[in-house]
Amino acid sequence: MKFYFALLVILSLSVISCENDLDTIEKVTFNPKSPDETIHELKMVYSDSGYARVELICSYAETMHQPENITKLLDSLRVNFFSENGEIVSTLTALYGEINYSKGALMVRDSVRLYNSKKKQTLETEVLYWNQKDSSIFTPAQVIVKGPDGTFLGEGIKTKQDFSRYEILKPRGKIKIEKKEEIN
């Protein structure tokens, strides 16, 4: 009888000690800085009227929903901007980026390059911002624009996502302008 009583006490204690308090578990395992989602081989396509306008490709991404809905693009990224007829007109590459869904904005940094294939010109900088609402790209940082017409340096740039025309906000350096013959 003593044996059964001792066994009953041991089983009762083991049942009581195995109770899990969910609040305690959450305190131990929950990290508010952890991403809500992780994505390997991310490919996003922004479309308008059924036609692709922007394609974003990234090998690894993390999304956080609080305090803002932001996706961090890690381990390099590529953004293709399309013309109305579906051709890639410019390509943006960088090592890091962040999509802010509430602002409709993309920020990229670290080894940033924007290339226009038709004009064969490249913009190089360390940080660049894309605004989805008006398709504008800008940066206040140092920029280098290389193309068939030469290399242009400055601080800050404004352009559209196709990089067909641009404005360097504070240009510097020497620019050689060739005189063209006037035709009357």
pLDDT tens for each residue of the chain, 184 residues long: 666 677 666 766 666 555 566 666 555 556 667 777 888 999 999 888 888 889 999 999 999 888 888 999 998 999 999 998 889 999 999 999 999 998 999 999 999 999 999 999 999 999 999 998 999 999 999 999 999 888 999 999 999 999 999 999 999 876 666 776 766 5
Domain boundaries, the chain: 34-172
- Cα 97 to Cα 8: distance, rounded to the nearest angstrom: 60
pLDDT of residue 66: 80
CATH class of 34-172: mainly beta
Q: In a 10 Å sphere around its CB, with 0-12 CB exposed, 13-18 middle and 19+ buried, how is residue 17 labelled?
A: exposed
Query: Are the CB atoms for 117 and 91 separated by under 8 Å?
Result: yes
DSSP bridge partners of 159: 137, 166
Buried b (16+ CB within 10 A) or exposed e, 33-45: eeeeeebeebeee
